[in-house]
Amino acid sequence: MDSAEVAASALPGASAFPTESRNPFRTPAYRAYFAAVICGAMGVGIQVVTVPLFIRDRVSADNRELLIGLALICQLLPQALLILVGGVAADRLERQKIMVRVWLIAALVSVTYVVLTGLDVSVIWPVFILGAVIGSLDAFGQPARFSMPPQILPQLQVQNGLILNTVAFMAAFQFLGPSVGGIIADIFSLQVAFGAEVLFLLGGALLALRIKVPRPVPTGKSIFGDLKDGVSYVRRSRVILALLSMQLIPGFLLIAPFRVTLVSMVNDVMGESDTFVGLMSGGFGIGALIGSMVLTTLVIRRRGLLLTAAFVPGGLIFLAYGFSENVWLSLSLMFLWGLGAAVSINMVTPLLQENAEPALFGRVMSVSSLCFATSLPLGFAVSSVVSTIWSPQASVISSGLIVVMLGVVATALLRPVTRLR
């Protein structure tokens, strides 16, 4: 038995499958993890639709985008402030226990929304407090979730496990969750949609209890000592720094303007019902799902080059979406956008983990999440202002143009990324 087999046999459930298998579903811990991710992401995905609808029903149309953007900022700022601590926690504590606690508290937040909608509360200030709670939870949940597959899988299964994890999360968070949330809110009520969030989040927590992982090896250092080691490690690596820079573009220039303007684009520009608010996110999600599955079948020799170049067509598609006033054309564009987004979704995390020390996975992924989390509130703020002063379409169109230009520059100049294979 060689060293790889010894390492594999030490993992929970590893004796149940031959070590040469590349199928992560043959690992019991991964099956439980996969199911928990889908269920928890469904609850979070429904919230992508329900919270903006909650705000829309309580504010004037003139202030809608500004207040939705403010609510999103309140969620992202605590996440950005705490994400590095969350990464240290993921390297020091059992990650499945972090996931369980995060989803249980998130379910309590959704219960609060059920009560607020049931009482027909007209004020929106609770949204900002609840958003801050969710953001704080994400700061601990994201590093734990992203860094778990290498901990529970043999090396031969890690790559497929990471891709399938991304596929599962994106399918539930970007497609199934928002679509289900929009349909439930439209057919039944917003309160019922919040209730569905509660059920999915509780289900994710219960499923996460079944995940068995080895206890992390203590470093003997304080939390701040581990935090300092992680930040210093990232600063010394040109490759990791370059990859992290790519995390700033999607959040600031694509996802933020999309989420801030989504309700107005569907209701006002396209003149459609709330069902399409969810389906628009769903179009992106199903495109990302199919694109991710296609990537698992391809042998890509220049993954770094593909990562930078993909921003050019992605920006052009987002630009076209900004000009579109037809809901079916917009849905098609969202599907194409998702296909292209699968590249950045599936390339950055594996490249980061391939170039990072295993003992620092949690901290490296927390810095990655910090870059993304920092870019979002900045993007929400800019998009809210542009949408309020000019229009939601102006926010989307200008963002698409900038993404195209950045994609060209990164492909030409960002050598630490473009040379990665």
SS3 call for 281: helix
**CA distance linking residue 195 with residue 177, whole number of Å:** 13
pLDDT at position 17 is: 42
CB burial of 149-169 (b: ≥16 within 10 Å; e: otherwise) equals bbbbbbebbbbbbbbbbbbbb
| CATH 1.20.1070.10 holds for 12-213+220-418 | no
Mean pLDDT taken over the chain: 82
Grouped pLDDT means (10 residues each) for the chain, 421 residues: 39 45 81 91 90 87 80 82 82 84 94 92 89 90 83 77 80 82 90 94 92 71 73 80 82 86 86 79 80 75 85 91 91 89 78 74 75 80 88 90 91 83 77
Local structure of residue 133 (DSSP, 8 states): H
Tokens 């927590």 map to which residue?
Answer: 205
How much is the pLDDT for 1? 39
The domains of the chain are located at 12-213+220-418
Residue 9's pLDDT is what? 42
Per-residue buried b or exposed e for 202-216, using 16+ beta carbons within 10 Å of the residue's own CB: bbbbebbeebebeee
